Amino acid sequence: MTWPRALLMLHVFAVYGSDAATYVFDDSAGLGRTFDGIGGLSAGASSKLLVNYPDEQRSQILDYLFKPKFGASLKILKVEIGGDVQSTDGTEASHMHNSWDENYQRGYEWWLMVEAKKRNPDIKLYGLPWGFPGWIAAAPQDPYVDPQQTATYIVKWVQGAKMHYNLTIDIVGIWNERYYNATYVKSLIQTLRKVLDVNNLGHVSVAAADGTWDIADGMLEDADLAAAVTYIGAHYPSTVTTDAALKTGKQLWASEDYSTFNDNSGGGCWARIINQNYVNGHMTSTIAWNLITSYYENLPYPRNGLMTANEPWSGNYTVESPIWMSAHTTQFTEIGWLYLRHGNGVGHLQSGGSYVSLVSPDKKDLTIVIETLTQEHSKCNKPLDPYNVSAAQITIQLKGSFVSITQLQPWHSKPGFGSADRDIYFEKRQPLKVTNGQVTLNVGVDEVWTLTTVSTGNKGSYPPPPPSKTFPLPYQDDFEGYAVSMEPNNFAQQLGSFEIVAEGNNKFIRQMVLQQPLAWWPNAEPKLGRSFSVIGDHSWTNISIKVDARITPVNGTSGVFLAARADKAGIALYDTGGVFFYVSPDNSSYILSSDLSKTQVVSTGPVKWRKGWNTIELRILGEMVFGFVDGVEVVATRAPTEPTNGFAGLGTTNWGLADFDNLYIT
């Protein structure tokens, strides 16, 4: 061997690595499972700030998520069935706050489903409760106790979607991520199936149990339970399933997954699990929490969405890496396509990474998705066993129905991880000629490739959105501009539920929850026994929040409060600090506290409270904090030294109705 040749070899190795392997893509021996689609999950109040974006940007954002052949082209929209409970980054309103109440105008999930359907009439809709309003079951609070009542509550939501929005719900679940209790889960699932069927909702499938794979064991022992469940949905399965789940023969879903910061590595996580959930776990659908980061940056799980849009006041948004990683699969497949079999188009690359192939039911179209994400650049929210990836020359050998394919269209992503690296996302490459069913592709490290016969791929784009801005101050809202039952803009409710109520010519917000709801997760629903909603900018230090407040004569709360520098919210709410000005008309007194739970009392004293509306104000200036009722200064004292900054907010001292109007923050 002469020197130049040796150098050439080294060069080849450096670029393409030392790995070269042939992979066969063949349907002759049969096909794998049916593909059920890739989706996004709007839950835990994760879409709260999307609804009041300016129309133009809001429409663009929705296109990036749902419009076919544009961006993520999602095929499933899963939403929370609001239960008035803290479900991660806030509470979502129930359609039945009380047993005597029914309302299908609340919150934003109805609106989101309508917008998704407008863009993609074939998108599947999936609803799941995180928790339930308190009336759902007798003490001890548990929706399993009266399955008929719980199932009826869920089915009313399905019927409400049809009646009020002409939305067909395709899938419902029972209770998010609750402990698996065979007896009670079985009884709720079977009752739900029955209530759906007697209401002519036989087309609505049940997915369960939206937690672990444990339900599969129950299904193997119990044919009735197995018959009631269409999809076994597990959360954050780390790409693997169980033997029992496989044995059921049911379709297996990662019915909630991802939950990872949406930078380039987050996109890497998403690309890897979209592929490997099938390769390792035979899962035919993967659904990302969350669909979109439309919650304040300082709430739990910041930027865990497929894209980011949490500045409705500026209109700024960011199309993040996971949007394009979704497109690699979603733009070239449809629900009902079939995976090829493991070893014949599905598997791990010898050099690290994975590949899947999907074929249209008529076998005319083939889509292959290859990913070579390294462990370092595709970490999700759980530890990942170590593995190595190297660049490789991949020879694709098409057989069976695919031998006559003469050309494949490549789409390429290579997120930049070094400072000088450019991000390559979803770029169309020169078509690859296939000769005698064979084609070779050089795949680098940290890349995603789609090779497809589908010619309609498209990287959608809009002009850049407006620049980012801080939350505008002074901020005011008289709540006249809303439809009744809507949630007020920019208020991220954390406990309880606040909605627009009209009385004569006046509109205002009312806290609606009358009793402790049934928690999603024990720590997520602190037994604070009060409502609380936050607004604004977590960096606020010197701030005044002023509002008119009224305790309703019927079912009223015993008091109201204002908050500033509230440092925590979401599922971290239980030890929220800040400055809290509680006013209690009952005993004409106030309590100033440095925590939400009112255990760190700073000052107490008398107040005068008139019947009807009273103006209350909490003002913090440097080291001093002031409280006012109807313009009268009732407290002036030193502010707690910690926390130094946080959200503003308001709430009720306990469960019960209270009204708020004419908000002014400066």
Ligand X SMILES: *[C@@H]1O[C@H](CO)[C@@H](O)[C@H](O)[C@H]1NC(C)=O
> So which residues are the catalytic ones?
177, 256
Q: How far is CA 83 from CA 106, 145, 283, 288, 495, in A?
A: 11, 17, 29, 21, 11
Determine, following the binding rule CB under 6 A, whether residue 641 of this chain makes contact with ligand X.
no
Interface residue with ligand X, options 249, 383, 386, 522 (CB under 6 A): 386
Tokens of 76: 């499933």
Give the Å distances, CA to CA, from 470 to 46, 61, 292.
Answer: 20, 20, 20
Q: Does 168 interact with ligand X (rule: CB under 6 A)? A: yes
Identified binder of ligand X from the candidate list 37, 90, 437, 465, rule CB under 6 A:
465
Q: Is 407 in the site for ligand X (CB under 6 A)?
A: no
What one-character-per-residue DSSP string does 64-130 give? Answer: HHHSTTTSS--SEEEEEE--SSB-SSSB---S-SSTT---SS-SSHHHHHHHHHHH-TT-EEEEEES
Residues 346 and 356 sit within 8 Å (Cβ to Cβ) = yes
**Could you count the other beta carbons within 10 Å of the beta carbon of residue 298?**
19
Q: Are 530 and 652 in contact (CB under 8 A)?
A: yes
Q: Is 142 in the site for ligand X (CB under 6 A)?
A: yes
CB of 97 to ligand X, least distance (A): 9
Least CB distance from residue 286 to ligand X, whole Å? 24
CA nearest to 579, candidates 492, 644, 505, 661: 644
Tokens describing residue 317: 């948004």
Residue 354 CB-density burial (10 A; 0-12 exposed, 13-18 middle, 19+ buried): buried
The single residue among 52, 59, 152, 318 that binds ligand X, judged by CB under 6 A, is: 318
Question: Between the CA of residue 525 and those of 21, 53, 106, 125, 528, what are the distances in Å?
Answer: 53, 29, 21, 27, 8
CA dist., res. 387 & res. 372, Å (int):
11
For position 13 contacting ligand X by CB under 6 A, the verdict is no
**Which of 384/403 has CB closer to ligand X?**
384
Q: Provide, rounded to whole angstroms, the least separation between the CB of residue 238 and ligand X.
A: 16
Q: Residue from 286, 290, 316, 576 that binds ligand X (CB under 6 A)?
A: 316
Query: Helix, strand, coil: what percent of the chain each, to 5?
Result: 20, 30, 50
**436 contributes a contact to ligand X by CB under 6 A:** no
Cβ proximity to ligand X: between 3 and 100 the closer is 100
**Window 181-200: residues binding ligand X (CB under 6 A):** 181, 183-184
Closer residue to ligand X in complex, CB, 236/540: 540
Q: Of residues 246-265, which lie at the interface with ligand X (CB under 6 A)?
A: none
Instruction: For residue 508, list its beta bridge partners.
Output: 501
Contact 514, 497 (CB under 8 A): no
Q: Which stretch binds ligand X (CB under 6 A): 25-33, 176-184, 215-223, 265-273?
A: 176-184
In order of 51, 63, 569, the CA distances from 206 in angstroms are 29, 28, 32
Q: Tell me if 141 contacts ligand X by CB under 6 A.
A: no
Which residue in 62, 28, 56, 23 sits closest to 42, CA to CA? 62
Binding test (CB under 6 A) with ligand X, winner from 464, 474, 522, 631: 464
Is 235 within 8 Å of 211 (Cβ atoms)? Answer: yes
Binding string, 322-361, against ligand X, x = CB under 6 A? ----------------------------------------
CB 243 within 8 Å of CB 28: no
* Single residue of 467, 504, 522, 553 touching ligand X by CB under 6 A: 467
Q: What are the structure tokens assigned to 486, written together?
A: 């809507």
In the complex, what is the shortest distance from the CB of residue 409 to ligand X, in angstroms, rounded to a whole number?
31
User: Least distance (Å) from ligand X to the CB of residue 484?
Assistant: 15
- Our finding on whether 505 is near ligand X (CB under 6 A) is no
622: contact with ligand X by CB under 6 A: yes
Region near ligand X per CB under 6 A, out of 16-24, 275-283, 399-407, 460-468: 460-468
Q: How far apart are CA 288 and CA 305, in angstroms?
A: 8
d(C-alpha 67, C-alpha 17), whole Å: 38
Nearer to ligand X, 175 or 355 (CB): 175
Q: Give the separation between CA 421 and CA 614, rounded to whole angstroms.
A: 59
Q: What is the DSSP letter of 642?
A: S
631 is a contact residue toward ligand X (CB under 6 A): no
Closest separation in Å from C-beta 142 to ligand X: 5
630 lies in the site for ligand X, by CB under 6 A: no
Residue 541 interacting with ligand X (CB under 6 A): yes
Strand 76-81 to 124-129 pairing: parallel
Query: CB 316 → ligand X: shortest distance, Å?
Result: 4
Closer residue to ligand X (CB): 142 or 263: 142
Decide: is 636 part of the binding site for ligand X (CB under 6 A): no
542 binds ligand X, rule: CB under 6 A = yes
The one segment of 180-188, 413-421, 432-440, 565-573 that binds ligand X by CB under 6 A:
180-188
DSSP 571: G
- Residue selected from 111, 144, 165, 475 as contacting ligand X according to rule CB under 6 A: 144
Q: Is 159 in the site for ligand X (CB under 6 A)?
A: no
Encoded tokens for 547: 């509002």
User: Does residue 597 touch ligand X according to CB under 6 A?
Assistant: no
Stretch that binds ligand X, among 242-250, 384-392, 443-451, 576-584 (CB under 6 A): 384-392
CA distance 148 to 193: 11
Does residue 599 interact with ligand X by CB under 6 A? no
Interface with ligand X, residue 3, by CB under 6 A: no
Q: How many residues bind ligand X (CB under 6 A)?
A: 23
- For residues 607 and 206, give the distance between their C-alpha atoms in angstroms, rounded to a whole number: 54
In this structure, are residues 543 and 665 in contact, taking their beta carbons and an 8 Å threshold?
Answer: yes
- For the chain, the residue count is 666
The correct pick among 1, 3, 4, 166 for binding ligand X (CB under 6 A) is 166
**For residues 421 and 575, which CB has a smaller minimum distance to ligand X in the complex?**
421
The footprint of ligand X (CB under 6 A) covers 100, 142, 144, 166, 168, 181, 183-184, 316, 318, 386-388, 464-465, 467-468, 541-542, 554-555, 621-622
